[in-house]
Amino acid sequence: MPKASFYTLGCRLNQTESNLMAQSLKGIGYEITSFKGGADLCVINTCTVTGQSDQKSRQSIRAIQRANPGALIAVVGCMSQMLGEELFEIGGVDLILGTSEKMELASFVQKLQAGAEPIVAAGPIAKGAFTIDLQGQHLLQTRANLKIQDGCDFLCSFCIIPQARGRSRSRKLDNLLAEAEGLLRSGVKEMVLTGVNLGEYHDSGLDLLSLTDRLAGLGVPRIRISSVEPTTLSEGVFERMKDPRHPLLPYLHLPLQAAQDRILTLMRRRYNFAQYAKFIEKAINLVPNLGLGTDLLTAFPGETAEEFEQGFARVRELPFQYFHVFPYARREGARSAGMVGEVPADEVATRVERLRDLSDQKREAFARSQVGQGLEVLFEGKNPHQHWQGYAGNFLRVQVKTGEALTNQIQLVTVEKVEQNKAWGRIVEAV
């Protein structure tokens, strides 16, 4: 049986798509193996969100070529969409597929197997609702990503996603539900709704929240909304999260990006700081034990030391469980590329480090706030120290010591202590 490997850069959506592509390759007889060596076909699913991402994607392609001599090399995804045949300059690349074409990977691979010359296919991205070819068997996973949407119309000034992934479009409901049913049959306990701008999902009269109701009706045990734009959620989300009969988990990842209005305007974000803070204040008040995360993009062109300090103080006060911190990186093609006021590299590094330290402190404080709580934890497997670990609904990672096998089980756990940033618990009962 020929072997194929995947190396995925970038976001959760890219990971979701790699899983789907892997299934389609299984459908034409491939076994999926590690990218570290021994593959006949290596797929690199790229990211182009910053100049650094491009560099990382290129380095990965070269490293994978070295580790898999003689393998067919397919470079797919966002960087392929943006650069197209320029990527042949790397040498040794057999297949370049853009954002739409990568979902037809299996048929392009069959063309290569039939002796076709190296192929590049990275055309305009289709508009309108889309479907995903559902082939092959799902592996048993505890948490599975379910792609419901792609692309974005928001045109934030720092972001190239609208070019790399096209405008917002939703997955057709029937096709999405068919995958959800397949995942349920294979034993999946949690579905993580993924997309670029999830709040823009609309198909067959459903929006994001009514879609969660529909999935609840199928019997999905847990539903998690991955990162979602702050202005796109209505307050109905709180009702569902606090209803113990609804499987929507009490977790929100709402990218704030900056906590100063001048910078938010330059970024072309669609809210000001006060609006964002008001929304999360409501969320915290209405949803018991909510887990709240955010993205912060620091050192945007022209961000002064005073503005950074003001933003730092503001995010310190907000009830976040964690932040993902990104340093601003100039991205050719993004609107912000021409903005003046680049922050010096050493200052960028300092701002990133301070925010990441603050995030670590918040993570620890959140974990401590959970001591004594009973949380339903979905166990995924053992860590290298042979302790079982899984995630609670609010995304707290919990570890337990037990001789029982817990893979893919939801257990009620009492959080007993936090040590070195890790929450430890004791199983109370199976749910």
- Least distance in angstroms from the C-beta of 252 to ligand SF4: 15
Stretch that binds ligand SF4, among 13-21, 135-143, 152-160, 374-382 (CB under 6 A): 152-160
Q: Which residues from 157-176 bind ligand SF4, rule CB under 6 A? A: 159, 161-162
- Least distance in angstroms from the C-beta of 39 to ligand SF4: 32
Q: Which residues from 229-268 bind ligand SF4, rule CB under 6 A? A: 229
Pick the binder of ligand SF4 from 152, 228, 248, 266 (CB under 6 A): 152
- Least distance in angstroms from the C-beta of 227 to ligand SF4: 8
Closer CB to ligand SF4, 262 or 268, in the complex: 268
Residue 122 interacts with ligand SF4 (CB under 6 A): yes or no: no
- Least distance in angstroms from the C-beta of 59 to ligand SF4: 24
Give the binding-site size for ligand SF4 (rule: CB under 6 A).
10
Closer CB to ligand SF4, 79 or 400, in the complex: 79
Closer CB to ligand SF4, 303 or 380, in the complex: 303
Residue 125 interacts with ligand SF4 (CB under 6 A): yes or no: no
Closer CB to ligand SF4, 45 or 370, in the complex: 45
417 alpha carbon, distance to own chain's centre: 29
- Least distance in angstroms from the C-beta of 156 to ligand SF4: 3
Residue 155 interacts with ligand SF4 (CB under 6 A): yes or no: yes
Q: Which residues from 179-198 bind ligand SF4, rule CB under 6 A? A: 196-197
Report the interface residues with ligand SF4, using CB under 6 A. 152, 154-156, 159, 161-162, 196-197, 229
